Structure 1
Amino acid sequence: MPDKSDKLLILDLDETLIHATTAPLTITADFQVDAFYIHQRPGVARFLANISPHFTLGIWSSASDEYVTDIVKAITPPDVEWALIWGRSRCTMKRDYTLDAYYFEKKLEKVKKKGFRLEQIIIIDDSPEKSRSNYGNAVYIEPFTGDSNDQELTYLYDYLLTLKDANNIRTIEKRGWRSRTWPYATMH
């Protein structure tokens, strides 16, 4: 078994690990939660099982707390444990004055109460605005919209292993991370 890093890996749900829609797609949904058809990103169970020995894991979504709990329960492999499972109630409502719209931001300062330093936290999200104040901690992935050929988690796994022993996550340039893993994806 690999040595577990001192890092906390926080994963988003919608368009990161799953795609939820109220209208069925042409491919069959993996499961349903309330009115939502849920499609798991290809390899999500394998990704979670393979990455959990390396990092402490958390989920943080801007969706409702109940929805987040139901989805996490459905996608979590048996040996995976979560240090935190957070939903919208842990987010901060922010206003985008340019678009005159509100959105929910994930402020990592709140995670410090769990004993993690900001230098130890990696947050994975498809929406940069939701992690705007966590720029040095964020790894942005392509949104998942139900494509059964999606390979994003395979590339993400390989990249995350390069961060495992970093002293300070915030000082590492993460833009263009995907080009540093392609075509060497190894998650099996």
Structure 2
Amino acid sequence: MIPRSAPPRFSTGDDGRILLILDLDETLVHAQEPPFSLDPHCVLFGYGIHLRPGLTDFLHQVTTGFRLAVWTSSSLDYASHVCNLIFPDPTTLEFIWARDKCTRRWEPESQTEVHAKRLAKLTRFGYDLRRVLVVDDSPEKHEKNYGNLVRISAFEGDPADAELLHLAKYLHELSQQPDMRRVEKRGWRSRRNTDRGAR
């Protein structure tokens, strides 16, 4: 049985690893309505689920160095099925949070409703936000979390996508820092390319 939208199981335990909170749609997977342009990995709730290239290797690399959790603005049933699909053992996740844990707010500029993910909710469970990272393709959901956010490019099914390969290496570099909120993470991808070119 996988952990559901409930208080984190390891609310006070801290083994020194950073809590890495992963988004699902357009971050780890792409859910496509039919007709499908490419054969999906599977079909859930009528949507074709495409796994981001390199996902298995990425999860293998971050599993040992981070404590993992999932927070999506999709439904809990959908999140649970996707987590069962992509994680070798979903019971090792600290928690799976879904839309019911988000805070709805109106975005006047885009005239849309945003399901914000407010990391401050984690402090009541004993998490230190200096030791929390969140990977998401939607920065508008993290207006209050910019210091914790690693923005990733949106995955929309491109089989040549290589973002997770670079992300895993960058996260490893970040894990050596004591305070995630003090590290400038905007433009991380271009900075990594520049650093490699200088060597």
Q: Report the CA distance shift for 1:63/1:182 in structure 2 as closer, same or farther (over 3 A).
A: same
Question: 1:60-95, CA deviations, whole angstroms, 9 ceiling, x for partnerless residues?
Answer: 000011111111111112488211111001100011
* 1:49 alignment partner, one of 43, 53, 60: 60
Write out per-residue CA displacement over residues 103-123 of structure 1, whole angstroms, 9 at most, x where no aligned residue: 100000112233211111101
The answer on 1:90 being equivalent to 2:104 is: no
Deviation of 1:180 (Å): 3.2
SS at match of 1:102: strand
Q: In 1, are the aligned partners of 2:68 and 2:94 still within 8 Å (CA)?
A: yes
Equivalent of 1:103, from 89, 114, 117?
114
Query: What does 1:22-37 correspond to in 2, within 5 Å?
Result: 22-37=33-48
2:185 is equivalent to residue 174 of structure 1: yes
Q: How does 1:44-83 map to 2 (within 5 A)?
A: 44-78=55-89, 81-83=92-94
Amino acid at match of 1:63: S
How well do the aligned residues superpose, as a CA RMSD in angstroms?
Answer: 1.9
Residue 43 to residue 178, structure 1, CA distance change in 2 (3 Å): same
Matched, 1:142 2:147: no
Name the CA shift for 1:168/1:35 in 2 (closer, same or farther; >3 Å).
same
Summarize the alignment of residues 160-171 of structure 1 with structure 2, pairs less than 5 Å apart.
160-171=171-182
Go from structure 1 to structure 2 and tell me whether the alpha carbon gap of 1:43 and 1:80 turns closer, same or farther (over 3 Å shift): farther
2: CA distance between counterparts of 1:72 and 1:27? 22
Structure 1 residue 100: Cα displacement: 2.6
One-letter amino acid matched to 1:81: T
TM-score by length of 2: 0.86
The answer to whether the 8 A contact 1:49-1:79 is kept is no
Question: SS at 1:9's partner residue?
Answer: strand
| Gapped regions of structure 1 (runs ≥ 5) | none
Name the CA distance, whole Å, in 2 between partners of 1:149 and 1:178: 17
8 Å CA contact retained: 2:84, 2:90: no
